[in-house]
Amino acid sequence: MPSNVPRAISITAPPTPSHEVPILDVDDTVTAYWDYQFLFVSQRAEAAEPINLRLVEGEIPLDFPSGTYYLTGPGLFSDDHGSTVHPLDGHGYLRAFTIDGTNGQVKFMARYIQTEAQSEERDPVTGKWRFTHRGPFSVLKGGKIVGNTKVMKNVANTSVLRWGGRLFCLWEGGDPYEIESGTLDTVGMFDVIKDDRKKMSDVEGLKVDVWDVAAEILKPILYGVFNMPRKRLLSHYKIDARRGRLLIMSCNAEDMLLPRSNFTFYEFDSNFKLLQSQEFIIPDHLMIHDWAFTDSHYILFGNRIKLDIGGSMAALCGLSPMISALTVNPSKPTSPIYLLPRNKTESINGQNRDWRIPIEAPSQLWVLHVGNAFEDKHHNGNVEIQIQASGCSYQWFNFQKMFGYDWRSGKLDPSMMNLKQGQEKLLPHLIEVSISLDKNGNRHKCCVNDLNQSNKATDFPVINQDFSGGRNTYVYAATTSGLRQALPNFPFDTVVKLSTIDKSMHATWSTGRRRFIGEPIFISKGKEEDDGYLLVVEYAVSTQRCYLVILDSKLIGQNNALVARFEVPRHLNFPLGFHGFWDPREQLEFHNKIEKRKPKHSVKPVRGPPLVASRRRRRRLREGVRGTRRSRTRAGRGAALPRTRPYYLAGRGAGRWVFLPSLGTVAAAAAARQARSGSNQQRTGAQNEVSLCLSKSLVLGWERIWAFAVLPFGIKGIKD
C-alpha cells in the first residue's frame, strides 16, 4: 500500500492541501488507492431540511413513479480522539432522495440515526465524537481497550425498510431503529418480535445435549456482561409481494460461539401482525448474512465458520476485534443448503422431507447476497428450486479484512478486495443454484453455475420486487468495468443487467473514470418485468461529489441509458452506502410532514405533489397492494400528467387553512381525466390532486364555487 495514503479524513473540515485528491498524472496505483480512501470519508454534517438537488444531466421522465429512495450506510469512521473504526462499525447515516416525477425535482435529506451508541459517543453540545464502543470489527485507540465489554454497537447502518407505515434502519445483530419518515428523526428502538417473545415459539429439532449446557453457561455472560440481545435480528429481510408479507429472521446470541445455530423466521402482515414464527435448530456453526424464500421454503446457505481460540483470547483482551474470534471453516469441500419448511403443518409435495439434512452444493461457496429464489412444482411431484445469489470463495473471504480495512493500522488497503488476473473467480460473482427434489423430497440434482459468462467481480443482485419469490428473468447488480489497471475488481463502477434465460446477455452502464457506484435498485413502472428505472448513487471521488443517477432499465447497454443525474452539494457529500429501499408511497407523507413543520401565519407559494391520498389508495397502501389487476393491466399505456403543476397560495390563519386555489385546480381535474387511461401511478397522482383541491376548497366560503366547478371532473376522477 502506498505510504502517502491518508487515513480517514473529515470532508467537513476546511480543505487543506493535504486533503486534496492528487492530480491525475500521478502514478495510477497511487491514484487508485487515494480514490478508495475517499469512499469512506466521514461526513459530520446533516441535512435536516430537504434541499433541492441540482440537475446536471438529462431530466426525470414524466412517467417516473414518485417516491423516496432511502439509502443507509456508515457516516463516520474516525472520532476526535484518534480512533478509527471499520466501515461496518460506522454510525448509521440515512440518506433520503424524494423524487417528484411530475415536476422533475429531487429533494435530499441526510440524518444520523440517533442510536444509544451515538448518544454515548457524540457530545450533544460540542458535536465532538469519542468512540467508546469497540464494535465487532474494530479496536479502539483513543478509548478504553482492556475490559471494554461494549462490543455490540448497534449503529443501524446496514439496511433500511418501510413496512406497515413505519420506516426502519436495521443492523446485523440488534433491534431496528424506527425513523420518522418525513423528518428522519429517530423515534427509537423497535421491538419487532415482541409478540413472539410473549409466547413460546415452535421449536423444531429441540433436544438436550452438551451444547444446551454450554449455551446456558454462555447466556448470562453474553446477555449480562456483553449486553447482547437474546435474538440477533439479521439486517436482510424479505418481502413476499404476492402474499403481502414481511419476512425476517433471527439467530440466538450464543450462536456466534457454539457449533449450533438457532434460526427463527417471522412472518408479518402489512399491519405488522405476527402471522407465524418458527425456530429451527441446526447442529452446525454457521454465519448467515442473507437468505432466500420460496412459496414453501426458507432457504439458508450455510457459510461454515469455526471458533478461533487464539483470536478469541486476543479479542477478549481488547488486542484484536471481537470478530477475530471467528474464522471461516473450509474443512468440507461442499456447501450446505438448508431447505426449511415455511409451513410445518403442511407437507411439501405430499412428503415430509427431513429439513435437518442439507442439500450439499458440490463446491465451497460463501454466499453474500441473494437476488431471488423461486420454485416450480411439476405434475409428477418433482420440485425445481432456483436461487440467484452472489457468492465468493472461502479462500478469499476474511472477516478481519472486509472492505480492506486493516484494524492494526486503521487504514484501508483495497488490494485485499482485488486479486491477480486469473483469480477473479475467487471474488464475489453471481451464481445460479438449481435444486431438484423428487416426489419423495429426496435430492435429485444440485448444481451451481455462473449466472452469466462474465468473470468480473459482481455483487448486490437486485430484481423487480414485484417478482420476488416468483420466477424472474432479469437480475441487476453492481460490477466492474475492469478498465482500471490498479484495483480492477473493486470498487464497482458498472451496473449490469443479466438474463437468467439468455446467459450471453451482459448489458452494462459504466460511470466515468474515477467514479464508483453502490448498490443499484429497481423501480417498476409497468407490467413488463424490466419496464422501469434503476437508481444508483455515483461517487465521483476525483471531484468529491455524489450523484443520484437514474437509468432506463430497458436501455442498459445502450448509449442513452442514462435518464438523469442529480448532484448532491459538496458539503453534503457522503460515504459509500450499503443497502437501500424504494418507497413509492412516501411522497405523500413526506410532504405532509413538511407542511406541518412550516411556521404558522406564513404565506408561501406551495408548489408540489399531492398531499392527500384517496380512500381507495390509502386502503391499498395499508394492505400493501400495488394495484388491481385492472389497473396493472392498464399501466404503462396512456397519457402522462401535464408537466406544469398547479400553483396554490397556502398558509395558516386563525388556526385553519386559508387556501386560495388558482386555475391549477381546474388543471388538476383535467389531469385526472387525462390520466384515466394512464398508468396506475399517474392515475393516483391525479386523483390525489383532485382530492386535495376539493378538501381544501370547501373550507372557505367563496372558494366553494371552485369546488363546485371541479366537482363533476374531480369525483369522476376519484371514482375511477
Whether the upstream peptide bond of residue 491 has omega within 30° of 0, thus cis, is yes
Q: Torsion over CA of 571, 577, 581 and 582, rounded to 10 degrees?
A: 50
Task: State the pairing for strand pair 274-282/202-204.
Answer: parallel
Q: What are phi and psi of 687, to 5 degrees?
A: -65, -40
CB atoms within 10 A of CB 560: 8
As annotated, the binding site for Fe cation includes: 289, 369, 579
Cα(278)–Cα(196) distance, integer angstroms:
10
Cα 702 vs. chain centroid, distance in angstroms?
49
Cα 177 vs. chain centroid, distance in angstroms?
14
Cα(720)–Cα(708) distance, integer angstroms:
19
Which amino acid, residue 98? T
CA–CA–CA angle 336, 337, 342 (5° rounding): 145
Instruction: Number of helices (H) and strands (E) in the chain: give both, helices first.
Output: 11, 41
Cα(283)–Cα(211) distance, integer angstroms:
9
Residues 6+ apart with CB under 8 A from 3: none
Copy the grid coordinates of residue 90: 460506522
As annotated, the binding site includes: 289, 369, 579
Do 540 and 599 touch, CB atoms closer than 8 A? no
Residues 6+ apart with CB under 8 A from 654: none
Given CA atoms 196, 199, 205, 211 in this order, what sign does their dihedral have? positive
Cα(369)–Cα(373) distance, integer angstroms:
12
User: Which residues share a beta bridge with 500?
Assistant: none
Which amino acid, residue 599? P
Do 675 and 639 touch, CB atoms closer than 8 A? yes
CA–CA–CA angle 415, 419, 424 (5° rounding): 145
Residues 6+ apart with CB under 8 A from 166: 178, 190, 272
- What is the DSSP track for 92-158? BEEEEEEEETTTTEEEEEEEE---HHHHHHB-TTT--B------TT---SSS--TT----------S
User: Would you put residue 615 in left (φ > 0), alpha (ψ -120 to 50) or beta?
Assistant: alpha
CA distances to 302, 338, 396 from 291, rounded to whole Å, are 10, 10, 21
Angle between helices 664-675 and 704-719 (to 10 degrees): 10
Cα(656)–Cα(653) distance, integer angstroms:
6
- What is the DSSP track for 275-303? EEEEEEEESS-EE-S--EE-SSEEEEE-E
HSE-up (13 A, CA, CB side) for residue 192: 34
User: 358-361: long-range contacts (C-beta < 8 A, 24 or more apart)?
Assistant: 358/302, 359/435, 359/443, 359/446, 360/334, 360/335, 360/336, 360/446, 361/334, 361/335, 361/336, 361/337, 361/433, 361/446, 361/448
